[in-house]
Structure 1
Amino acid sequence: MEKFFKYLWENLSDIYPPIFWAILVFLVGYFISRWIGLLASRGLKRIKLNQILRAMGWEEAMAKAEIKLDAEKFFGKIVKWFFIILVLMLTFEILGLKQFSGFLEKVLGYYPNIFIACLLFLVAVFLTNFSKKILIGTLEREKITYSGLLGKWVSLGIWTITILAILYQLRIVPEIILTVLIGFVIAFALTIGISFGLGGKDLAAKFLKEFEEKIKK
């Protein structure tokens, strides 16, 4: 069977020039890439990604930068371009342009980092949304003081860790990322230490006491 396909390909190559197969592969691959990108966008619409981001205030932040928020289309385009680059690599390979196909192969090798960075972003979005709905919502229903402040700290912690993880995944100066991470931990520790030293001790004790009383009930 393998010999048959090899024989068939050799004969077809003699009948049709490589440019014909290159154009055919590109056109078919392009439309398939668009279709896969649309599927990805529709999948994100089903989980209502844009609505979650709007609820978190991302739309307002993007509007200030004159950027229209549409994360569903954005991630769909990332998926689409992954397959388009793959198709282009195959096209150049058929045309015998090894340098171009080699370059695109390197681009594809970096692409998984972009995918993982996008997944980390999505995980952060849902973790933040989950913490607001479950953790903070529960505390507010139980009428525990400073639940809103706790929610802001939880969101800040999630996004700080996520941004650092994304930068590390994209291989953007890991030394600086490590420095920022250490700085964030030190700053957080100092904030807690200062708050306890300047009277925050009573505030923390009150919060813990209220939480303990609610748990006992």
Structure 2
Amino acid sequence: MREFWETALLGPLESLGKKILALLPNVLAMGIILTVGLVAAWAAGYLVERVLRVIGLDHFCDRVGVNAALARGGVKTDPSRLVGRAAYWTVALFATVAALGALNLQPINQFARSFLAYLPHLFAAALILGAGYLLSNFVSQAVLITAVNAGLPPARLLAACSRWGVQVIAVAMALEQLGIAKTVVVVGFGIVLGGIVLAAAIAFGLGAKDLAKDFLERRLSGRPDRRAPDDLRHM
């Protein structure tokens, strides 16, 4: 009976203890790598933020309208601090993956390799979304100013359609970069973009109907075009 208990209980416990003891150096290495990596991440984020503040990134972004675009999106942090945080989390992610790799466990190593291979796609998608958001605001403002100067009534609707169109394109490109449901993304992108273009065309048509009516009345009645001199109109 005693031999049975020794074989059934003590044997597995002894084997587990040996595995834990063999894993302790790897756990210690993981802790050291993670600690050093987090300190390096904090230092990298701090240095990047300080350097960007010294060279005047915040002032430049405020002058070109980036700060205003971020504020409209609910982001109240300075661009220098945002880039510093991005640097911190980038180094911290690499440090975490390296620390997990120190355990030398096959499933964790496989996950770390897959994550590192996928990480560039995540960064590219984030950059595409950020650039698309800023570009959409710029395009929207340009369309709004142009439509107001042209006297089109649905100026705000045209500006909103242009903004959403650019953002939809950015989201589709980001999802394409991530490799998420490519067929669904392409079909959905076509439907949404087509709807935005149709809405913009209808809005433009409704806004320009008075201009078209006036143009046709002048042509049919033979009245001269008051907006252009006779010498230019007959050229």
TM-score normalized with structure 1 length? 0.61
Q: Cα distance, 1:52 vs. partner?
A: 1.9
**1:177 corresponding residue in structure 2:** 185
Q: CA RMSD in A?
A: 3.9
**2:150 corresponding residue in structure 1:** 144
**1:58 corresponding residue in structure 2:** 73
Indicate if the aligned counterparts of 2:144 and 2:156 stay in contact, CA closer than 8 A.
yes
In structure 2, do the counterparts of structure 1 residues 27 and 180 end up closer, same or farther at CA, with 3 Å as the change threshold?
same
Secondary structure (helix, strand or coil) at the match of 2:150 reads coil
Q: Cα distance, 1:41 vs. partner?
A: 6.0
1:80 to 76, 88, 98: 88
Q: Deviations over 1:99-128 (max 9, x none)?
A: 323312212222212211111122123212
Q: Which runs of 5+ in 1 are unaligned?
A: 1-16, 60-67, 207-211
Equivalent position amino acid for 2:69 in 1: I
**2:209 is equivalent to residue 202 of structure 1:** yes
TM-score normalized with structure 2 length? 0.58
Indicate if the aligned counterparts of 1:88 and 1:101 stay in contact, CA closer than 8 A.
no
Equivalent position amino acid for 1:144 in 2: A
1:89 to 79, 90, 97: 97
Indicate if the aligned counterparts of 1:90 and 1:101 stay in contact, CA closer than 8 A.
no
Indicate if the aligned counterparts of 1:82 and 1:108 stay in contact, CA closer than 8 A.
no
- CA distance, structure 1, for counterparts of residue 161 and residue 151 of structure 2: 14
The count of corresponding residues between Structure 1 and Structure 2 is 180
In structure 2, do the counterparts of structure 1 residues 192 and 84 end up closer, same or farther at CA, with 3 Å as the change threshold?
closer
Q: Cα distance, 1:20 vs. partner?
A: 5.2
Indicate if the aligned counterparts of 1:85 and 1:108 stay in contact, CA closer than 8 A.
no
- CA distance, structure 2, for counterparts of residue 20 and residue 153 of structure 1: 56
Equivalent position amino acid for 2:73 in 1: W
Q: Which segment is superposed worse, 181-190 or 165-174?
A: 181-190
Secondary structure (helix, strand or coil) at the match of 1:90 reads helix
Q: Cα distance, 1:84 vs. partner?
A: 2.2
Q: Which segment is superposed worse, 104-113 or 184-193?
A: 184-193
**2:139 corresponding residue in structure 1:** 131
Indicate if the aligned counterparts of 1:19 and 1:95 stay in contact, CA closer than 8 A.
yes
Q: Deviations over 1:173-195 (max 9, x none)?
A: 11211111221244345446766
Indicate if the aligned counterparts of 1:92 and 1:98 stay in contact, CA closer than 8 A.
no
**2:126 is equivalent to residue 111 of structure 1:** no
In structure 2, do the counterparts of structure 1 residues 110 and 172 end up closer, same or farther at CA, with 3 Å as the change threshold?
same
Indicate if the aligned counterparts of 2:139 and 2:162 stay in contact, CA closer than 8 A.
yes
- Which protein shows a greater Rg? 2
Q: Which segment is superposed worse, 127-136 or 176-185?
A: 127-136
Equivalent position amino acid for 2:151 in 1: T
Q: Kindly, what percent of the aligned residue pairs are identical?
A: 21
Q: Which segment is superposed worse, 107-116 or 76-85?
A: 76-85
**1:4 corresponding residue in structure 2:** none
Indicate if the aligned counterparts of 2:30 and 2:102 stay in contact, CA closer than 8 A.
yes
Equivalent position amino acid for 1:58 in 2: G
1:122 to 121, 127, 130: 130
In structure 2, do the counterparts of structure 1 residues 102 and 136 end up closer, same or farther at CA, with 3 Å as the change threshold?
same
Secondary structure (helix, strand or coil) at the match of 2:151 reads coil
Indicate if the aligned counterparts of 1:33 and 1:83 stay in contact, CA closer than 8 A.
yes
